[in-house]
């Protein structure tokens, strides 16, 4: 890898900025593509993802599967922590607790998952997230504990 693409030399924020760079030909892949959500805002310690749930993420009882909300929240809180890491650090989720406040459906419309860092220590990080619609109605909240490690 050259200096520009060597992730080990980049801060977490720089890594995320590179991963979500709209000029990249390959674009964002992975879970965001699978579940059709995208980056809305990115700054150090705070990340927002947006999505629009549809019937492809429904459970058998006719509402959006709880895993969809949990995935957006886990992504938002994890990336919020990622955005504060130093070059050479990594992280992994140790615990994610999600509270569901109201059901999501295809009629909910666009939603936002916002993650913010509460505390970043040498070995552990704590973050909170909330999932809202564009009118600010709360659908789910999350708290997360993450392990921070040297790569």
Rounded to whole angstroms, the Cα distance separating 72 from 51 reads 8
Q: Are 115 and 107 in contact (CB under 8 A)?
A: no
Q: Are 12 and 82 in contact (CB under 8 A)?
A: yes
Count CA atoms closer than 13 A to 143's CA, side-chain side.
3
Contacts with 125 (C-beta within 8 Å, 6 or more apart), sequence order: 81, 84, 91, 117, 119, 145, 146, 147, 148
* pLDDT attached to residue 27: 58
Q: Are 36 and 52 in contact (CB under 8 A)?
A: yes
Structure tokens at 88: 């050479």
pTM of this structure: 0.92
Q: Are 51 and 38 in contact (CB under 8 A)?
A: yes
Rounded to whole angstroms, the Cα distance separating 14 from 127 reads 20
What distances in angstroms separate CA 88 from CA 14, 19, 66, 94, one per listed residue? 12, 16, 33, 19
Q: In this predicted model, what pLDDT tens digit does every residue of 65-104 receive, in sequence order?
A: 999 999 999 999 999 999 999 999 999 999 999 999 999 9
Sorted by where each starts, the structural domains of the chain and their CATH numbers stand as: 7-150 (3.10.129.10)
The residues of the chain scoring below 70 in pLDDT are 1-5, 25-28
Q: Which residues, listed in sequence order, are joined to residue 39 by a DSSP beta bridge? A: 49
């Amino acid at each position: 890898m050259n200096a520009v693409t060597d992730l080990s030399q980049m801060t977490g924020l720089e890594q995320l900025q590179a991963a979500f760079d709209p000029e990249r030909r390959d674009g964002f892949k992975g879970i965001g593509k699978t579940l059709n959500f995208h980056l809305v805002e990115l700054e150090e310690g705070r990340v927002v993802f947006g999505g629009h749930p549809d019937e492809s993420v429904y459970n058998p009882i006719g509402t959006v599967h709880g895993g969809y909300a949990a995935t957006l929240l886990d992504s938002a809180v994890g990336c919020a922590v990622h955005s504060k890491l130093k070059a050479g650090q990594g992280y992994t989720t140790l615990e994610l607790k999600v509270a569901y406040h109201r059901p999501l459906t295809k009629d909910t419309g666009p939603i936002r998952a916002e993650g913010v860092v509460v505390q970043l220590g040498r070995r552990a990080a704590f973050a909170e997230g909330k999932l809202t619609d564009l009118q600010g109605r709360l659908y789910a909240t999350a708290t997360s504990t993450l392990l921070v490690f040297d790569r």
